[in-house]
Amino acid sequence: MKDRVIVIFDIETTGFSVVEERIFNIGAVKHEFKNGEQTTTQYDQFMNPMKKLSSGSIRITKMEDYMLKDKPLFKDVIGGFIDFIEGADKIVAHNGLRFDIPFLNNELTRSGFADKCIDEKICIDTLQEARKRLPLLRSFSLDNLAKHFKIDIQERDELGHLALRDSLLLSHVFFELEKIIDHNTNEKLYEKCDELMDSLERKTVEKPILFG
């Protein structure tokens, strides 16, 4: 396995609008692969969004406004997350290209950290990857992918969908998806090799080598 650093993250927000709503929780898991060994570190930060949580957010996360009133502001603690993801080869999020990345980048820009916005080119969206690799699934939600891979989600259901908890779950899902991705990549490689061998054999027949 080649050396690489992968950060898998999730955000919890007051609502769905990138423009109107705010982030109140960021969680992440960093997987570092070096010299055949893997180390894992975690990041978890709650913030006061200075905005009331929507009923949907309360229902999903089981958080309440009073739990966040004494938390620091996004702009005062986001530096810790920026440091945490520094040097990552890939950043992974579920529905990340449509939600997490735009939402986070908007908050970074609003808080004066526009130069720290995440480049979508290094992002892997597990929702998009699941659609490619598991096209027969009826749903590509994180819950359904976890069930497909037989990953226990009872704690998440009971305690709420918070950012670190979801990042840990997504880590399991991502590495299961990666096995499928690697398998498909190898299959395509074998197909290319077969095509090349067929081509070489045809050329050998068409232009026989003469001796003497």
Whether 211 is in a domain gets the answer: no
Which of 25, 76, 60 is closest to 46 using CA atoms?
A: 25
Query: What's the confidence (pLDDT) of residue 156?
Result: 87
Whether 141 is in a domain gets the answer: yes
Whether 121 is in a domain gets the answer: yes
Q: What are phi and psi of 43, to 5 degrees?
A: -135, 135
- Residue where the block lists tokens 């080598």: 209
Whether 107 is in a domain gets the answer: yes
Q: What is the CATH number of the domain that holds 19?
A: 3.30.420.10
Q: What is the dihedral of CA 74, 80, 83, 89, to 10 degrees?
A: -70
Whether 187 is in a domain gets the answer: yes
The catalytic residues are 161
Query: What's the confidence (pLDDT) of residue 181?
Result: 74
Tens digit of each residue's pLDDT, the chain (212 residues): 689 999 999 999 999 999 999 999 999 999 999 999 999 999 999 999 999 999 999 999 999 999 999 999 999 999 999 999 999 999 999 999 999 999 999 999 999 999 999 999 999 999 999 999 999 999 999 999 999 999 999 888 888 999 999 999 999 999 999 999 755 554 444 455 455 555 555 554 445 544 44
Query: What's the confidence (pLDDT) of residue 212?
Result: 42
Name the domain count of the chain.
1
Question: In angstroms, rounded to a whole number, what is the distance separating the alpha carbons of residues 162 and 160?
Answer: 6
Whether 23 is in a domain gets the answer: yes
Query: What's the confidence (pLDDT) of residue 155?
Result: 85
Whether 210 is in a domain gets the answer: no
Domain that holds residue 176: 4-204
Whether 209 is in a domain gets the answer: no
